[in-house]
Amino acid sequence: MDGVSTAQPQRHPQQTGHRTAPVAFLKGHGTENDFVIVPDPDNDLDLSPRDVARLCDRRAGIGADGVLHVVRSAAHPEARRHADRAEWFMDYRNADGSVAEMCGNGVRVFARYLQHAGHTGPGELAVATRGGVKKVHIAKGTADDPDGGDITVHMGRALLPEKSVTVTVDGRSWPARNVDMGNPHAVAFVDDLDHAGQLYAAPAYAPAAVYPHGVNVEFVVDRGDRHVAMRVHERGSGETRSCGTGACAVAVAAARRDGADPSVTGLPVTYTVDLPGGRLVITERSDGEIEMTGPAVIVAEGHIGAALLVRSETTDG
């Protein structure tokens, strides 16, 4: 257990209301699930929920579905226990500033940033998240695009709580499969993705007690053998172009529906999952481990305008 100090902490200029140091950022996406990436190896930045929401604002900020705060595990109190297994911690925040356990597309983009910054290369990588340490494999790119290889994330095993759920949009209701990928999902198979409506607001679900902290809701249609398409409403972000943990939850739910549960058949099963922003390939192995493979791209980098992060009051004592 870390000791408690009563001494005044040494304030980094970026932590105060009078920011003097520029704050670097990058912008990246995985199947168009986009993120503001904030490198902060020593955890000097104090990103408040308001800061995150302003960064993610698509009109007044940079615009994104979430923020990837890049910190060394040893420097973050939530990740120090993982420091011997993973050098880097993905401190992920939703677009509304709330903290999330995991983000599958985010892990791929996080890994791409580490490659882009020279912290890692093609091959194996471990990333600490609030949902545990995730193993990542970065494929080799081509001569024309050396950083363009697909990224595979070992997402762990799904949990399948038995509690039944119903989701409702615009007066239509569907039974939904309850799938936990380190964060909660409700997967509903529908006849037409348009039935999910605009998804500006979170779909209603019942009983509410099943998801006391909210839920990601996926709407799914079949496209072919082991091939589905989906839309998703992510808690804290609204409808997004893609959701990695959601695609995994969809593949798990589809395998059970289709009688292809690897724990029963003893055989791995792979689903192609089409999302509005692109395509992911999800494999559930016979031991229950789930692998997600897809692209990740860094599209821009620069410095955050001071007005976005200046506090209304200083944080000095």
187 has which bridge partners?
177, 218
Q: Which among 87, 88, 127 is positioned nearest to 108, based on CA atoms?
A: 127
User: Does the annotation place 183 within a ligand binding site?
Assistant: yes
User: Does the annotation place 33 within a ligand binding site?
Assistant: yes
Contact 108, 282 (CB under 8 A): no
User: Does the annotation place 94 within a ligand binding site?
Assistant: yes
Tokens of 51: 């800061």
Residue 255, by phi and psi: left (phi above 0), alpha (psi -120 to 50) or beta?
alpha
Tokens 């992920």 identify what position? 92
- The burial of 29, by beta-carbon neighbours within 10 Å (0-12 exposed, 13-18 middle, 19 or more buried), is given as buried
3-state SS track over 70-128: EEEHHHCCCCHHHCCCCCEEEEEEECCCCECCCCHHHHHHHHHHHHHCCCCCCEEEEEE
User: Does the annotation place 234 within a ligand binding site?
Assistant: yes
Stated as kind and residue range, the H or E segment containing 250 is helix 244-257
User: Does the annotation place 50 within a ligand binding site?
Assistant: no
Active site positions, annotated: 103, 243
39 has which bridge partners?
70
User: Does the annotation place 178 within a ligand binding site?
Assistant: no
User: Does the annotation place 105 within a ligand binding site?
Assistant: yes
Beta strand segments in 181-237, E: 184-189, 204-206, 216-224, 227-234
Tokens of 292: 């997600």
What is the Cα–Cα distance from 81 to 76, expressed in whole angstroms? 9
Contact 183, 163 (CB under 8 A): no
User: Does the annotation place 235 within a ligand binding site?
Assistant: yes
Q: Which among 71, 66, 82 is positioned nearest to 244, based on CA atoms?
A: 66
Q: Would you list which residues are annotated within the binding site for substrate? A: 33, 94, 104-105, 183, 216, 234-235, 244-245
Q: Would you list which residues are annotated within the binding site? A: 33, 94, 104-105, 183, 216, 234-235, 244-245
